[in-house]
Amino acid sequence: MQTLLLILHLLLAAAAKVEDSEKKRNVSDAICVFNVGNVSGHVMFHQSTGGNVTVQGNLTNLPKGKHGFHVHQYGDLSNGCASTGPHFNPYGMNHGGPTAYDRHVGDLGNIEADENGSALFIMVDHLLTLNGNNSIIGRAVVVHANEDDLGCGGQNDSLTTGHAGGRLACCVIGIAKSKRKNEQLH
């Protein structure tokens, strides 16, 4: 019986060490591939050690114009984009633009599709992180039907959703191979 307890104790200790090493892992690259809805493409995220996150994307088949672009709470696509929940907002702030003090962590403003439906973009964000308790890994990126009013539109939902309309496309953010940061968008 004592041998069995010792083995159980050792197994639990080993499992705890694996879990701790997973939590301490320094993720520098993530990717989100769109395959729900008509929109195609991907968004890549890169975080330098302790720094800002660079967000780079190449999307196609979007309607021409500006579209709200956000990180949502859940990476749950069981009911399409509807199950991704609200914007990622761990600090309980109002909705705002990407440079506003009062904003959700997931508020990334707008992307713009050209007349061919393509949106090629790069942005740098100081609130996103790929590590720690507020990591965006496992959460969703959502592209909305309308332009995000950045919380300034005066609509009933301006301070919660940016009045950005329905959800056109979404994907789940996952850890990427580190080499992705050196790949070119095309």
The domains of the chain are located at 26-178
pLDDT above 80: residue 167? yes
Task: Give the model's confidence band at 1: pLDDT under 50 very low, under 70 low, under 90 confident, else very high.
Answer: low
What pLDDT digit, counting tens, does each position of 86-141 carry? 999 999 999 999 999 999 999 999 999 999 999 999 999 999 999 999 999 999 99
HEC profile for the chain? CHHHHHHHHHHHHHHHHHHHHHHHCCCCEEEEEECECCCEEEEEEEECCCCCEEEEEEEECCCCEEEEEEEECCCCCEEEEHHHCCECCCCCCCCCCCCCCCCCCCEEEEEEECCCCCEEEEEEECCCCCCCCCCCCCCEEEEECCCCCCCCCCCCCCCCCCCCCCEEEEEEEEECCHHHHHCCCC
Whether the pLDDT of residue 23 is over 60: the answer is: no
Q: What confidence score (pLDDT) does residue 62 get? A: 97
Percentage of the chain lying above the pLDDT 90 cut:
76
pLDDT value of position 177:
87
Whether 35 has a pLDDT exceeding 80, the answer reads yes
CATH ID of 26-178, from 2.60.40.200, 3.40.190.10, 3.20.20.70, 3.30.200.20: 2.60.40.200
- Residue 13: pLDDT band by 50, 70, 90 thresholds? low
The residue ranking higher by pLDDT, 178 or 145, is 145
What residues act catalytically? 70, 72, 87, 95, 104, 107, 144, 167
Q: What is the structure's pLDDT at 60?
A: 97
Give pLDDT, residue 154. 94
